[in-house]
A and B are shown apart, each in its own frame.
Chain A
Amino acid sequence: MKTLAVFSAVLSVLATAYASSDSKSTLPSTFKPPQVFKNLNLVHVISVEKNYVKENINVLIENIDKEAQDEYYLPFTGDQMSRVGGFEAKDRKDASVGHFKVEAVEFDPESDIQYYRVHLPSPLKPGDRQALGITYYVLKAYKPLPASIAQDEQQFLTYSFSAYAPSVYTTSKQKTEVKFPSSAIPDYTKLPGSGDVQEFPQKQGTKLTYGPFDEKPAGAAEPVEVRFEFTKPVSHVSELERDVEVSHWGGNVAFEERYTLYHRGANLSTLFNRVKWAQQQYYNPVSYALKEMKFPLRVGSADAYFTDVIGNVSTSKFRSNKREALLEIKPRYPLFGGWKYPFTIGWNSDAKHFLRKVSGSSYVLNVPFLEGPKQPEGVEYESVVLRVVLPEGAENVKYQTTIPTSSITEAKVEIHKTFLDTVGRTTLVIKARNLVDDFRDRELIVTYDYSLLASLRKPLIIFITMIGVFVAAWVVGGVELKFSKK
């Protein structure tokens, strides 16, 4: 059993001292999390059932310091850090506490080890214990093996991780469970067992269990790799631009989403064969190609459209009634590994579903942060740019969202100019990274003030222009072009 104590090694060779103290979460480059906790019992659940990895760390921690402590650190490598998102932590025993404050710690961008910091809601007294439930998602997690396959073959993916949960604290007892989409797991790293178990992992149906392991020091790692069947698309949205446009005059909220979609699975080993594809649809419709996406929209959605760079794509269905509003789209071509398909969808909805009047000239808007397709295999979003276009002249914009705050990279208010605008519309832009479709329907609430005078700006501008036309007509009409008789 080889144990890599990477943390002290990496941190001690940090030659480039880089420290700035402009942000609260910025720490000196020599930072090392204080050894104030001990993980008494840790269960690491890695779910590779979808095309992103969901990791769950359920841990019972104990304060072994002499003082009360409230900051728990979780380490990631620099590469992982760029792909980890949706980080949330909660109390396993008391759900009413809600999600804890979590932030990515900045201390040295060059360092190979980065941290997420969890703030416990109340400091843990020496000797006290707390059950933490930490959840996060890893994007771009898999590599297909073989890297290229025929169009009717099955796809296999590999995922590498550590059999010991990443931790900066000593862990007394732990095990790692890996959940797979099916029981077809042809290859996985085997480790020597301990106690009465001969060999790790133990396989039960669609689950592999590494452990339980005995006490491991801080930073212990044991790289393992699993290879499993995943004959489903590995859809990856590199960028989603989502626009929400509020219109008070029209009583409408317009949505538009522009996707840059990739398939990150195995490439085709031969050229795509359309005839074979058509045949395959009859005798074996299971394929790793992406051929359809379903968007369950909010009830009351209307006027849906689906376009790409060429124009309207006619292979879409939109069913809207009292119970549902389902948009089903078929891309122009089935999407295989390594292929890309950028497309746009949009729809309208009555403002009354999303917009309420608070008092006087104050309004509150509640829209889903992310809608997107609902696929059995999941969808991951590397970068999300949400723009909420409020009416022209809206001010005092405040927002709140239930998306994990550590996923939001930037939020600003800017001006967007479009039809009939003079000063431009107030636009709230929120950028987020590394989200997955589990965060579908997490809400975004925006409040703003919009006075009657601001709302009358558009007709007023047209009114002034028209008066100008009438005056000009009168002036021009009064010009005497004929020669005077006198």
Chain B
Amino acid sequence: MDSSLHEVWQAASGSPFLPTVGKGSQFFVGFLLLLIGLALGGLFTLNRSLVNVPVLGIPASLAVAFGVVYMFCAVGVYV
């Protein structure tokens, strides 16, 4: 065991951990991103071409990816 961890804790007193998106806005961010993902996914279904897989699929997937993570946090399952 390291006996200096207490000093590490003291030394880091100026930098408390703050999440990228605060607890208060997690639901809004998650919901918005999921909505964007759903909209882009809907657009894709209207015209399922190979070009639209990267053009609409990548932004839609990114929005859903972060949206799901924030929605999990927003409903109290802190992942």
A residues touching B (Cβ–Cβ < 8 Å)? Answer: 245, 247-252, 254, 303, 348, 350-353, 355-358, 363-364, 366, 398-400, 405, 418-421, 443, 445-447, 458-460, 462-463, 466-467, 470-471, 473-474, 477-478
Contact = CB atoms under 8 A, between A and B. Distances in A.
Nearest to A366: B9
Given A251-B19, A364-B9, 7 more contacts: A398-B1, A400-B6, A458-B69, A459-B68, A460-B65, A467-B58, A470-B61
A470 B41 CA distance: 8
B16 A355 contact: yes
A443 B5 CA distance: 11
Contact of B78 (A254, A459, A471, A478): A254
A179 B48 CA distance: 83
Q: Is the interface of A mostly helix, strand, loop or mixed?
A: mixed
B9 A250 contact: no
B79 A247 contact: yes
Contacts of B79: 247, 249-250, 418-421, 458
Contacts, number: 138
A330 to B, nearest CB: 25
Nearest to B70: A249
Given A251-B17, A470-B60, A471-B53, A350 B23 contact: yes
A466 B69 contact: no
A445 B16 contact: no
Contacts of A445: 5-6, 8-9
A339 to B, nearest CB: 33
A248 B5 contact: no
B31 interface: no
A364 B8 contact: yes
Given A251-B23, A474-B48, A420 B53 contact: no
B42 to A, nearest CB: 12
Contacts of A245: 78
A248 B1 contact: no
B24 to A, nearest CB: 10
Interface in B5-46: 5-6, 8-9, 11-13, 15-23, 26, 37, 41, 44-45
Given A358-B8, A419-B72, A249 B17 contact: no
A2 to B, nearest CB: 45
Closest 10 CB pairs of A and B: A251-B19, A466-B61, A247-B78, A470-B57, A250-B73, A250-B78, A356-B12, A459-B65, A355-B17, A463-B65
Contact of A447 (B5, B60, B62, B64): B5
B73 A356 contact: no
Nearest to A392: B79
Interface centre among B5, B58, B72 (most CB of A within 10 A): B5
A457 B40 CA distance: 23
A35 to B, nearest CB: 33
Contacts of A356: 9, 12-13, 15-17
B73 A357 contact: no
A65 B61 CA distance: 77
Contacts of A355: 16-17
Given A355-B17, A356-B9, A247 B73 contact: yes
A252 B8 contact: no
A400 B12 contact: no
A400 to B, nearest CB: 4
A357 B45 CA distance: 44
A400 B1 contact: yes
B69 A249 contact: yes
Interface centre among B8, B49, B52, B62 (most CB of A within 10 A): B8
A477 B60 contact: no
Contacts of B37: 466
B65 to A, nearest CB: 4
Contacts of A458: 69, 79
